Every structure is written in structure tokens, then in C-alpha cells.
Amino acid sequence: MKIQQVFTSVAYPQSNGQVEGNLVDELPSVLWAYRTTPREGTKETLCSLVYGNVVVLPAEIGLESARVMFYDEDNGARRANDLDLLEEKRETVSIHMKAYKNCIAQTYNRRVIQRNFQVGDLVLRKVQEE
């Protein structure tokens, strides 16, 4: 079967030949994927929060999707409407973020062990050097 197990250091993964290609060539694709993926807390993409609408993916351009085929050059009015609604969208996202943070806090706080201290109890205190 000729299976070879190779170990590598996290600090230098190039040492085993598993990392191929140039990171600079892949960076635009990675950034595009990051900016067009909806976030867990907001349920929106970064591009939609900045520009007010959903971006057209490169795959849609190559395949001539419906959005590309029916694109109208004179969409200034629709674009202005998207920008007018952007502030409302950001407020909605802010509400989603607060709810998400509360959910995370509740999940964390369920695991916290409550301890009550009285005056005179010995506790371990970390002293920070100045």
C-alpha cells in the first residue's frame, strides 16, 4: 500500500513537503471566503454589513447564474435603497450579536462552580510584578 506516516512541527509545516504552493497566491481566495461566509453571531457576511447586499461569487460569473444574467446596469435606485436599509440591517445584527453573547455567557456560567468566601478565609492570590 506504500502508506508513509510523516510528522511535522506546527512551527514549520514546510519541512515535510505537505505544504505546497505559495501562500501569497492563495491569500485572495482565503480572504474572499472569509468575507463571504456568514458569521455565527451575526448570521450575515462581512460584505453584506459593509456594502448592504450579497456579493456575486466568482463561480456565478463563470456559470452565468440568474443573478448575472438578469443584472441591470441601471440599478442605481435599487443600490440606493440597499444603502438606505443598511443601518437597519446593522441594528438587527447588533441585536443578534447581543443575543449570541448572552447565549455564550449562559453556556459558560452553567459550568462555573459558585464559591462563597468569608472574611478570614485563606485564598491564593496572584501577585503581578511591576
The domain limits of the chain are 20-110
Cβ atoms of residues 55 and 46 within 8 Å = no
Q: Could you tell me the three cell numbers for 16? A: 515535510
Q: Over the stretch 77-111, which tens digit does the pLDDT of each residue have?
A: 878 888 888 899 999 999 999 999 999 999 999 99
Sign of the dihedral defined by the CA atoms of residues 110, 116, 117, 122, in that order: negative
CA 46 remoteness from chain centre: 8
Predicted local distance difference test score (pLDDT) of residue 82: 81
Closest among 75, 53, 57, 76 to 66, alpha carbons compared: 57
Residue 21's pLDDT band, with cuts at 50, 70 and 90, is low
Instruction: Tell whether the model's pLDDT for residue 11 goes beyond 70.
Output: no
Name the pLDDT band for 17 (thresholds 50, 70, 90): low
Is pLDDT at 2 greater than 90 in this prediction? no
**Statement: residue 117 has pLDDT above 60:** yes
Over residues 3-12, mean pLDDT: 68
Confidence of residue 118 (pLDDT cuts 50, 70, 90): very high
CA distance 48 to 35: 9
**Average pLDDT score, the chain:** 82
Residue 48 CB burial class (10 angstroms; 0-12, 13-18, ≥19)? buried
